[in-house]
Amino acid sequence: MSSVLISEVGPRDGLQNCKAIMPTAEKKRWIAALAEAGVTEIEIGSFVSPKLLPQMADTGEILDFAVTIPGLTVAVLVPNLKGAERAIAGGAHKITLPMSVSETHSLRNIRRTHDQVIEEATAITELIGQTPEGKRPHFEGSLSTAFGCTLEGPVPDAVILRCAERLMAAGCDEVGLSDTTGYGDPASVKRLIRAVRAVVGAENLTGVHLHNTRGLGLANALAAYEEGITTFDGSLGGLGGCPTAPGASGNVVTEDMVFMFEAMGISTGIDLRKLMATREIVTTALPEEELYGFTPRAGLPLGYKGEPVRAAAAH
């Protein structure tokens, strides 16, 4: 059976867009429950200024907790070298540096031009090289707004490909494609994956981060899978968006994505019933936040065991 990795980004990308702040103790309960459900990679937060995103003020404490969970790959978003220093010191297994291919968005999101992001990436690479082996995190450069920007509109392919090349040259282990604003469609997803892989190599683009702004999240995930992508970000209940990209709404619902792949016979390693049960932690801690998802609302089909449900042959 083929398999994919579902990386849960709700504790970072989901919570950063919520008005209320989830208590630290409840974040820990949620992350532990996600791991218990079989989620093996979780982006637990970001090291950004608490003045800008108070929802992420406890990322250091959350990181200290998460790295004690056996078998869990703990990912952290870092906007700069300072954030990377804190993530590495805390034992993060994976760090992601966002590089918005829309320079307008980059300036608004992390206050860096493209050249400045590359300077940060180079400095982070040097820091990782100085870190003892066995404690070096995997370093991903995320190509944000890759399918379009609410501030600039479409971004030329030449700019996107140049950003990808520069991130790899600066020392990133891989690049990821992020549909920050939900502008992507299955055809554009396939086309851009092929284009980026042509310049960085297929082995250096294995993951995508998709939003469901216009209802195409699952269609885009399937298109990416058909192009050989094996890592997919999802957010429980579709929580999230981008505070610095007007109109960019929620992420792909993790529960729906897990159901889609499992129903197709593609293993995620996640117990969908346990995963859906973790929604209660979120709804209790954040009662004003709406959670989305067709699968949790409809329930699992009769006979569902995590394997494809096939209709009986007609006679």
What is the distance between the alpha carbons of residues 86 and 55, in angstroms, rounded to a whole number?
17
Hey, what are 254's tokens? 């993790």
199 inside domain = yes
Hey, what are 206's tokens? 């294995």
> Among 52, 46, 60, which Cα is nearest to 14's?
46
304 inside domain = no
312 inside domain = no
278 inside domain = yes
Hey, what are 90's tokens? 């805390």
Task: Provide the number of structural domains found in the chain.
Answer: 1
Give the structural domain span for 188.
Answer: 5-298
308 inside domain = no
145 inside domain = yes
The pTM score is 0.94
First to last CA, the chain: 29
The per-residue pLDDT string of the chain (315 residues; one tens digit each, 9 = 90 and over) reads 699 999 999 999 999 989 899 999 999 999 999 999 999 999 999 999 898 899 999 999 999 999 999 999 999 999 999 999 999 999 999 999 999 998 888 788 777 888 999 999 999 999 999 999 999 999 999 999 999 988 888 999 999 999 999 999 999 999 999 998 899 999 999 999 999 999 999 999 999 999 998 899 999 999 999 999 999 999 999 998 655 444 445 899 999 999 999 999 999 999 999 999 999 999 999 999 999 999 999 999 998 876 444 433 333
- Tens digits of residue pLDDT in 269-314: 999 999 999 999 999 999 999 999 999 999 999 988 764 444 333 3
CATH number at residue 89: 3.20.20.70
Place of tokens 């994956």: 193
> What per-residue confidence (pLDDT) applies to 315?
35
Rg (CA), the chain: 19
Note if 242 is an active site residue.
yes
Q: In angstroms, what CA-CA distances link 310 with 170, 263, 273, 285, 304?
A: 48, 9, 20, 38, 10
112 inside domain = yes
What is the distance between the alpha carbons of residues 91 and 99, in angstroms, rounded to a whole number?
23
Contact by Cβ (8 Å): 32, 69: yes
102 inside domain = yes
> What per-residue confidence (pLDDT) applies to 125?
98
Query: Which of 18, 163, 172, 242 is labelled catalytic?
Result: 242
> What per-residue confidence (pLDDT) applies to 309?
41
